[in-house]
Amino acid sequence: MAGEFFWEVTVHWRIAMVLRMILDRGMKILLIVSVLGAAGTLLADSYAPPRSKTYASPSGTAIVRVEPAGMGDPQVPARCRALVYFYNEKTSEYEKKFEKLLPNRIAPGDVMIPDDGRCVITFAEWHGGRGDRNTIVIHDLKAGTARHLDLADFLPQTRIDTFPRSTSSVQWRGEAWFDSEQRRVHISAAINPFYPAFKHPSFILHLETQTVSIDDPGSPGKPEPILPSRNSWWEFWK
């Protein structure tokens, strides 16, 4: 009886160990799949409904109001447009000086305007847009011209591939701000959590030449993504 009891306990213990090993390895597999899936799967996009939005210059002497396209709504303009106002110190009111149609399908994702209101700078699309020629657009209001810049105009593809992506866009840009003379716009780069050790560049948008330069060249090549383990798959499996 004692022998049978010992044999039964041993069998149950071995079954428990096998189940534990299976569950443990299953969790490792789940971790690998989750990390690799996060590294390779595009992030989902979420956007609030488009609406009119006003952007001010650094000192507030100029503002631009962007009205999104109507998307078929007869009560809303069919084209996205920008209304530029200047502050009149005599009347203490803003007066409209320019009205310009924008090339954005719905509306730009972000807008900047210097104090003198000589141009309007738009970034990307309200709903994203990978490889879109509206990544950066510099609208010269007096000349009535627009300079379109895509990422490929100032970055190689190997560099573009290191930025985070969503289902509709490359998330390459962080914050943007004018320098003290408002002749250049400094743009910080977004950071990809799967390339944490990679030194991303920052950018300078030159308004006079309408070009973009890399402020910090960073590493020349494309880094390898961070995996669950630096060891071999067999070492990780064990």
The per-residue pLDDT for range 24-50, each reduced to its tens digit, is: 554 444 444 344 344 434 554 455 677
Is pLDDT above 50 for 58? yes
More confident residue, 63 or 229: 63
Is pLDDT above 60 for 221? no
The rounded distance, in Å, linking the Cα atoms of 182 and 97 is: 20
Percent of the chain at pLDDT exceeding 70: 60
Is pLDDT above 80 for 90? yes
What's phi and psi for 9, nearest 5 deg?
Answer: -65, -40
pLDDT at 196: 59
For residue 36, the surrounding DSSP H or E stretch is: helix 2-40
If you average pLDDT over every residue of the chain, what do you get?
75
Is pLDDT above 90 for 159? no
